[in-house]
Amino acid sequence: CLDSNGEMHEFGTHWTNTECYSCSCTRSGIDCCSTFMIPTKYDKEKCVSIFNKETCTYKVVEKEDHSKECPIYEAVG
């Protein structure tokens, strides 16, 4: 299988790509799905959602003080 970065993968292999998607190669082709949840319901006036590409996770923090986390009420994958 040839991925979007031009890298070849053998049938039956699994990897996490640079966009934090879990991928696998089969004879049918490449299949990828997200490895992270995207926060959708939180106080958007007071807080901001920040994606960490190293850990493949979102963190919702106060806009004025990123050391203070905000509650997440709903997320999608």
Q: What is the pLDDT of residues 31-76, one digit of tens each?
A: 999 989 999 999 999 999 999 999 999 999 999 999 999 999 999 9
For domain 38-76, give the CATH number. Answer: 2.20.25.590
pLDDT, position 8: 95
All structural domains of the chain with their residue ranges: 1-35, 38-76
* CA–CA separation, 11 and 21 (whole Å): 18
Contact at 8 Å (CB) between 61 and 39? no
Tell me the average pLDDT across 14-33: 93
Q: Is pTM, for the whole model, over 0.75?
A: no
CA–CA gap between residue 77 and residue 72 (Å, rounded): 14
pLDDT at 56: 93
Distances (CA, A) of 27 to 8, 10, 32, 50, 53: 13, 9, 14, 36, 29
pLDDT of res. 33: 93
Q: Is 36 exposed, middle or buried (0-12, 13-18, 19+ CB in 10 A)?
A: middle
